[in-house]
Amino acid sequence: MWSELLARFSKFPAQERVIRVLLEHGFQVNGAGAVVSGSIRIPDTEIAREAKVDRRAVDETTATILSDETLKNFFSNIKTFVFLRDVAPVLGLGVIIITPRDASQIGIIEEVTQTIAEYGVSVRQAVTDDSYFIDDPKLTIICDTRIPGVLVDKILGLASVKGVSIF
């Protein structure tokens, strides 16, 4: 799906950059062609600034989206969500970021979360980067407590894990 989606914009680099911004932030395109997050309208000039394109490229991108039923359905239903990674320390939560050996491998989340559970630590949130959009995807896990060093060592010993960062 991702490659098909991006292929539709491959001949239009400015529009492809706009698409990447929309996907990165989980922004929707509503029926009027406005970029929104829920019911909040995001100004085209801000999208253009982030994508490093002219504002007209945003208008062209949203027009392309609305003219294609698959794109329209996708971009009208994508959602943003609260990602706790950056606020976790303020909330007293632990953050562990996993770099997998091969992000396409099946069972990475299960292997890591099972190991975390064995140490009596509860997972509050698990978020993975999509390897179609991110060159070096990560698995970010937010836990109910700080991550003990012994758990980091155990996770580093898992076959699917290349590296671990905590904060």
Concatenating the DSSP letter of every residue in 17-47 gives: HHHHHHHHHT-EE-TTS-EEETTEEPPHHHH
pLDDT at residue 5 in the model: 76
pLDDT at residue 1 in the model: 62
pLDDT at residue 63 in the model: 97
Question: pTM score, two decimals?
Answer: 0.79
Closest CA relative to residue 5, chosen from 72, 91, 79: 72
**What are the average pLDDT values for consecutive 10-residue runs of the chain, which has 167 residues?**
77 94 94 96 98 97 95 93 94 96 93 96 94 85 94 96 95
Sketch out the chain's domains with CATH numbers: 2-77 (no CATH), 94-166 (3.30.70.260)
The C-alpha atoms of residue 127 and residue 129 are separated, in whole angstroms, by 7
Cα-based angle 92, 167, 51 (whole degrees, multiple of 5)? 105
pLDDT at residue 110 in the model: 96
